[in-house]
Structures are given as structure tokens and as C-alpha cells.
Structure 1
């Protein structure tokens, strides 16, 4: 008796719902200042950043990330939020940085063939508002904040979709493969 393998696929019914949910998730991670406290050493400044919703929409459009990577990045952001100390505060661009780090990390975790996002590609997608060095630092910091807890199994995806699937307008479609 053999067991047929099951293929699970995350499907998005509405890119707009995914965009809205992702923007809301990124903006509610932690309180952020309205003005930048960083010393501007290169092009990065609040003046160069579009509204977060537009920024995320542009990244989604340019990267063409599969829904599964977007979903895993949201799970990572949830893990981050639950592990942050109550007194944690961010700078004006913190939601942008955390979003980028989450999608880059999820992209690498989910990559099977080297098709993951690189820091150079992410820098280009941000129109070089962030340098590859900035992106590398974002990713390393993010990994430390989530304590390198990257593994997401199918049960974790089902649980997340049970909580947020309606708002996200996402489903998990499972298909049994015939073995012949």
C-alpha cells in the first residue's frame, strides 16, 4: 500500500487584499516616529520613501513573488511582533525595512532553485533608496529579531490562514497526486 503525495498551493483571490493586509501588518508591528532620527549618509531619507502601501505594491509588482512567499513573510512578521519587547520603537522607515527583510527571508527560505531575492535585486526594486549593504543589514537584524525561527510547516500555514485567510482572501489548495 503506497501513500500518494499531497501538493499544497497557496492561492490568492485578491492581490488588493494581500496588499492591504501586508501594509496593515507592517504599520502595526511597533510604534514608529514620524520623523527620521538617522543621520542621512546616502540617498535614504523619508523624503525618498513613497507611502508604505505604494512601496509594498511596487515591490510586489517588481518581484512577482508567489503568494506562498508573501504568506510566509507575513508569518515571519507575526513572529517578530510577538517577540518584540513592549518598549520597542521604530524609526519612520522601520515598517519598510521590516517588510523588505521579511520578504527577502521568506524568498530565501522558500527557494528551491536559487530564484530567491538577493540584496542587489531588493536594492534595485527600491530604486536604490536602500543599498545592498543596507538590505544585508536589514536581513541580519531581522533574523536575529525572530531568533532564526524560519521553519514554517503546512500546519503553521493552515493556522495562519484560519485566523487571517478571509481578510487576506487566500486559500490553501491541496491536491493528491496519482501514483501510477
Structure 2
């Protein structure tokens, strides 16, 4: 049974253990937060254990500093038969600054597939239907990002050496 929660936000402080030698949060740590928020959102929509299958269009726009208040927002923007596509925005601000100083730091689309049964086979998810012009635009955006990813996969496959390297 699904709670069909379309949107989820995780908020926390960036810690010293999250940063690189330049004093900014590691891109890998940001990707971990994206995956965690996406997972929680996917389970919230499908009601099932879900696995990450793709991340597309990731852009690191601005740095996150130690002590920044970070919000990772995942919003469902497209569903397939077993897949759920989420737009994820990572925003940050100095907690001592006014709320208007929030900056977009990272954006991407992340795709999860719901799993069921003892062998973990893909299972159907509740369909999501766009209701507003923005919803329709986001659904189209999700499809375009995933199409770009397929183009990249095909290009890489063409240039692989015959021995698999």
C-alpha cells in the first residue's frame, strides 16, 4: 500500500567530515544525500523497497560550506510502469543569514525502480499524472534527461574496445 507522497525534503547541517581539502562539501557526499532523499521519496510514493537505476543531468552550481543548513528536495516528476523519476534540488544557506539567502547548489533527475518479492523483481508503481503546466513541463524534462542518458550509453558502447575495456 502506498502513501503516495510526491515530495520530500531532508534538512541538516553540513559537517566537517563532509568536506574536501578545499573546505567545500565533496561532490560524492552531495550525491549520497541526493540518493538518500530519492530513496525516501521513492519508498514514500511506491510503498516498496526501491533501487537507484540512473542519475541524469547532475549539475554542481554552487559550493556548500561547513555549517551550511542544507535542504535536499525530491519531487516526483514522472512515473513509468515500475520506475519513478524525481527532480532533486540541493540548496544551502548560512543558518545565521536570513532565509532569503538560500542558494541552489546542485540539481539532477534521479530514477528509482520499485522492487518486490523475495528475489527483488521490479513491481508496478502508482501512476502519477501531471496536473499543471509546470507538472507537464517537469514530466517532459524527465524524459529528455533520460533520453540524453541513453544517447551517452550508446555512444560509449560504440567506442568500447572489442575486449571489453
TM above 0.5, one fold? Answer: no
Greater relative CO, 1 or 2 (CA 8 Å, sep 6+): 1
Normalized per residue, which structure has more strand? 2
Task: Give the TM-score normalised by the residue count of structure 2.
Answer: 0.26
TM-score after normalising by structure 1: 0.24
Relative to total residues, which structure has the larger helix share, 1 or 2?
A: 1
